[in-house]
């Protein structure tokens, strides 16, 4: 695509074309069914909700926690459960203890 506006125009055109399609076993087009069920949908989620992958690992006897396949050392007593937050942008891994940030590992 030459630019984002051209891509968006192509996507809108494709969506509008799909609204006249009739699914097997149905009698009304997709667009009509979409309008009918719109009133039954939940409201959209508010913008800015957290996309972090959150786990609660236990600090092992070496003072490390395992997140996915990697071990990270943390300055927290062994046997303590911490909250580990891996943001969607994957720029850093934050560890929290009792709702307070305890450590931030920068990821390359």
Question: Is residue 88 scored above 90 in pLDDT?
Answer: no
> How much of the chain, in percent, has pLDDT values that exceed 70?
88
Number of neighbouring beta carbons within 10 Å of residue 74: 21
Q: What is the pLDDT of residue 30?
A: 94
* Confidence (pTM): 0.49
More confident residue, 12 or 51: 12
> How much of the chain, in percent, has pLDDT values that exceed 90?
44
Q: What is the pLDDT of residue 22?
A: 94
Q: Locate the domains of the chain by residue range.
A: 4-38, 53-106
Query: CA-to-CA distance for 52 and 67, rounded, in angstroms?
Result: 13
Q: What is the pLDDT of residue 15?
A: 92
Structure tokens at 97: 């203890």
Contact 54, 84 (CB under 8 A): yes
């Amino acid at each position: 695509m030459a630019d984002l506006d051209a891509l968006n125009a192509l996507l809108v055109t494709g969506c509008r074309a799909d609204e006249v399609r009739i699914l097997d076993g149905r009698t009304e087009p997709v667009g009509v069914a979409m309008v009918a069920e719109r009133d039954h949908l939940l409201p959209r989620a508010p913008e800015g909700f957290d996309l972090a992958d959150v786990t609660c690992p236990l600090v092992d006897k070496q003072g490390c926690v395992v997140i996915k396949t990697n071990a990270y050392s943390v300055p927290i007593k062994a046997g303590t459960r911490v909250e580990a937050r891996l943001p969607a942008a994957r720029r850093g891994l934050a560890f929290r203890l009792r709702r307070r940030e305890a450590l931030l590992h920068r990821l390359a």
